[in-house]
Structure 1
Amino acid sequence: MEALESAGYETPTPIQEQAIPTILQHHDVLACAQTGTGKTAAFSLPIIEQLLAKKNDGVYRGPKALILAPTRELAIQIGENIAVYVSKTHLRHTVVFGGVSAVNQIKELRRRPEILVATPGRLLDLINQRVLSLQSVRFLVLDEADRMLDMGFIKDIQRVIAMIPTDRQTLLFSATMPKEIEKLASDILRNPRQIAVAPVSSTVDTIKQAIYPVAKPDKIDLLAHLVREEQGGNVLVFSRTKHGADKIVRKLRKVGITGDAIHGNKSQQARQKALKAFKAGTITVLVATDIAARGIDIDRLQLVINYDLPNEPETYVHRIGRTGRAGELGTALSFCDIDEREYLWEICKLIKQELPMVTDHPYVPENLAAYAEKPKQAQTSANPNKKRNNNKRRRPQQRYRAAV
């Protein structure tokens, strides 16, 4: 309680208010809550409480709590939060992830942490090296479970679960709840309590959302215009591709706007350096791809811009969730060229909102009227008797184990 007070925690968020007592009653949990609503504390605090309440027999056989995260950034973020929560206790924790040497992580594991935060790939590598055992795990958390499935980690997750005792408490947290998550939950949870503090795949009310119709060649000029309007405030920009992220940064630098990019091709050191510079305000714009979307937690981030609309509507929810966190106000603006109308339609359908369109900016396209038309692919999907072809919108599932 002293640690929470020193961190400024006063009133629990809705997900914390429901999850904490449920977890303390030793139930498995299937929780769905919007990103930025305090899920990390919702599962970490009751686990820490239970670890403190249990007497230590003096024999260390491995970590007692395992928290799996899909990306390095999210794992680091969870680790930083847990460091605050256990700062007044004797509990130890560590974080392991790929992209960096495992030497220092192995040294940290030898300090016998009770809580381990890990990405699936590095965790299995360390187990294969026989420097880590999961035989003592009593608490298993899958954070951002939908993202782990999107990234192709299902087999890795199944391998990890097979190494953990069945006598455990399992907590599955996710911002969206597709059918694949429900199936995973039915396989690994025992009589779970379901918690949903908001409509599934919804966006928080504190985020002001808007769409900017713009031709693709004009996107960079519109971005520079909006960044300058921010008058020094930090802007997080999302690009669909790694190459596109680097290209945006280069073009912004040419017009005098400082920025950097983080994506899977960047080393962990470079990604952390860019994120640190962004938080410190030494660069104005941080351009990220979706692999980093779940792990960016920046206090009072005012503006998120979708330079490219995501081709998976659930990704939109996670992207804009980087702003408007913990009750703060935020703004999410999305660029949409004429070829991205289908993505926009799918997003609006998912979040059950019609997003307002801004038509008084300097780069409004000539074919503005065409944006009011429903895209052909969307018209096809409205016919329940016609099988939809998903090849246009959905990309093949990819594995990112080497990246995380």
Structure 2
Amino acid sequence: MTTTLEDSEKARSWKELGLVDVLCKACEQLKWTEPSKIQRESIPVSLQGKDVIGLAETGSGKTAAFALPILQALLNNPQRYFALILTPTRELAFQISEQIEALGANVGVKCAVIVGGMDMMTQALVLAKKATHNNSNTRTLKYLVMDEADRILNMDFEVEVDKILKVIPRERRTMLFSATMTKKVKKLQRACLQDPVKVEVSTKYQTVEKLLQHYVFVPAKYKDVYLVYILNELAGNSFMIFCSTCNNTIRTALLLRNLGLTAVPLHGQMSQNKRLAALTKFKAKDRSILISTDVASRGLDIPHVDVVVNFDIPTHSKDYIHRVGRTARAGRSGKAITFVTQYDVELYQRIEQLISKQLPLYKTEEDEVMVLQERVMEAQRIAKMELKDLTEKKGKRKKVADDDTEGAIGIRKRLKGGKKKAK
């Protein structure tokens, strides 16, 4: 049976939640003064050994909500391969690993991160050093966590999740955290949780209070000019700019670089090493503008994001919540500006309907905007040529790789044929 806890006055300190001193100290070292709503609701339930479904808005502190009970259980029963945490994106996997190792630094906790897009052999060696990983030892697993469960399922990982559920022990604690409760998440809940407690700290889709949200109505052909104007107006801030496609992410980054702005792209077609390098540069403030597809809209905690710009309006209204949740995190303030062209009005109205708010117009001076047009057009022209060069180089590399693959297959076939004749 699933029950729902109301968001009532709960414990105000880490100690009152039932955490041991070493973990309370770890929270203090990370400058977490008091638990967030989701942490106050879910940690005591988890410490009682119950399965948990946690529904909370993005940026609410879900990672610590599942990490702290796991670390406390691990202190009571030290062993290898204790918990498995599934996430929808590689970046989020690395971030969760960093946070768990920071929380468990005083007790020597180690995490192994296994993701697609990186060398499997290297990762297998890391896993072998840090955690036992053959099938017989998956039987020792005590915790399964699915973070951003709705996104895991929306990305069509259902088959992979089913396979994992078949090889891990039924006798385990399961925690399922999600921003939204979709039909797929309900189905997953029935499949893998035992009499869970549902912890819900926000019953409707909402954005955090300290987030100032605006829209700006722009003619589609002048989107780039308006973007440059806003970046100039708010200079000195750090920006995350969301685009709908990988191609537009690269094009916009090239455009801004040609105008002397420190921009770095992040999208799903980049290699994992390049994605991590882009994030590192932005986190270290070497770059003040991160231009991304929705690969970075969920879960990533980059403390210094001041402004989120929805350069391309999200097709799915719920993605708006996740995008703007990259700023105004953990009690800080932030700003979000959404570009609305003549083609986006219906999509924009859906967003306002979802968040139950009518957003104010971000004031722009058209004369001042259009002064930038000539410079932006020149930067667009250069960016277009650079993008063409990049595409051609990528095409050549792919052809060489395909030729190498075909050549290798041909050699293997000939060798097999030779072996048969030798017999």
The match for 1:293 among 269, 282, 297 is 297
Correspondence for 1:398:
none
Alpha-carbon distance in structure 2 between the residues aligned to 1:264 and 1:95: 18
Correspondence for 1:109:
127
How many pairs were matched up? 346
Correspondence for 2:37:
14
Correspondence for 1:174:
178
Q: Which amino acid aligns with 1:4?
A: C
Shift of 1:144: 0.4
Q: Alignment partner of 1:141: what SS?
A: strand
Correspondence for 1:376:
none
Residue pair 1:213, 1:364 contacting (<8 A) in 2 also: no
Correspondence for 1:328:
332
Identify the range of structure 1 (102-111 vs 15-24) with the bigger mean alpha-carbon deviation: 102-111
Residue pair 1:64, 1:138 contacting (<8 A) in 2 also: yes
Correspondence for 2:234:
230
Correspondence for 2:342:
338
Correspondence for 1:91:
109
Correspondence for 1:392:
none
Structure number with higher relative contact order (C-alpha < 8 Å, ≥ 6 residues apart): 1
Q: Give a deviation string over 1:79-116, Cα, whole Å, max 9, x none.
A: 110010110004322211111112332222122438xx
Residue 64 in structure 1 maps to residue 82 in structure 2: yes
Q: Which amino acid aligns with 1:213?
A: F
Alpha-carbon distance in structure 1 between the residues aligned to 2:181 and 2:274: 33
Residue pair 2:70, 2:143 contacting (<8 A) in 1 also: yes
Residue pair 1:300, 1:328 contacting (<8 A) in 2 also: no
Residue 41 in structure 1 maps to residue 70 in structure 2: no
Residue pair 1:201, 1:350 contacting (<8 A) in 2 also: yes
Residue 163 in structure 1 maps to residue 167 in structure 2: yes
What is the alpha-carbon root mean square deviation over aligned residues?
A: 2.0
Residue pair 1:209, 1:331 contacting (<8 A) in 2 also: yes
Alpha-carbon distance in structure 2 between the residues aligned to 1:287 and 1:31: 30
Residue pair 1:213, 1:359 contacting (<8 A) in 2 also: no
Q: Which runs of 5+ in 2 are unaligned?
A: 1-23, 370-423
Residue pair 1:32, 1:196 contacting (<8 A) in 2 also: yes
Shift of 1:295: 4.5
Alpha-carbon distance in structure 2 between the residues aligned to 1:14 and 1:228: 37
Residue 194 in structure 1 maps to residue 198 in structure 2: yes
Correspondence for 2:261:
257
Residue pair 2:135, 2:167 contacting (<8 A) in 1 also: no
The match for 1:358 among 362, 379, 382 is 362
Q: Which amino acid aligns with 1:310?
A: P
Q: Which amino acid aligns with 1:88?
A: N
Residue pair 1:15, 1:197 contacting (<8 A) in 2 also: yes
Shift of 1:133: 5.0
Shift of 1:254: 2.0
Alpha-carbon distance in structure 2 between the residues aligned to 1:295 and 1:5: 22
Q: Alignment partner of 1:111: what SS?
A: helix
Shift of 1:363: 7.9
Correspondence for 2:321:
317
Correspondence for 2:27:
4
Q: Give a deviation string over 1:253-300, Cα, whole Å, max 9, x none.
A: 222212111111111111111111112222221101012222432113
Which of the pair is proportionally richer in helix? 2
Shift of 1:153: 0.9
| 1:123-134 alignment runs, 5 A limit | 133-134=137-138
Higher Cα Rg, which structure? 2
TM-score (ref. length: structure 2): 0.78
TM-score (ref. length: structure 1): 0.81
The match for 2:99 among 78, 81, 100 is 81
Shift of 1:170: 0.8
Structure 1 residues 361 and 190, CA, compared in 2 at 3 Å: closer, same or farther? farther
Alpha-carbon distance in structure 2 between the residues aligned to 1:187 and 1:166: 11
Alpha-carbon distance in structure 2 between the residues aligned to 1:102 and 1:364: 52
Structure 1 residues 26 and 261, CA, compared in 2 at 3 Å: closer, same or farther? same
Alpha-carbon distance in structure 2 between the residues aligned to 1:361 and 1:327: 32
Q: Alignment partner of 2:250: what SS?
A: helix
Q: Alignment partner of 1:294: what SS?
A: coil
Q: Alignment partner of 1:339: what SS?
A: coil
Q: Give a deviation string over 1:65-88, Cα, whole Å, max 9, x none.
A: 000000000001101100101100
Q: Give a deviation string over 1:358-404, Cα, whole Å, max 9, x none.
A: 35443899xxxxxxxxxxxxxxxxxxxxxxxxxxxxxxxxxxxxxxx
Q: Give a deviation string over 1:285-330, Cα, whole Å, max 9, x none.
A: 1101012222432113110100011101111111111101111101
Alpha-carbon distance in structure 1 between the residues aligned to 2:135 and 2:320: 38
Q: Which amino acid aligns with 1:10?
A: T
Q: Give a deviation string over 1:136-187, Cα, whole Å, max 9, x none.
A: 2211100001111111111211111111111111111011222222222122
Moved over 3 A (4+): 130-133
Residue 283 in structure 1 maps to residue 301 in structure 2: no
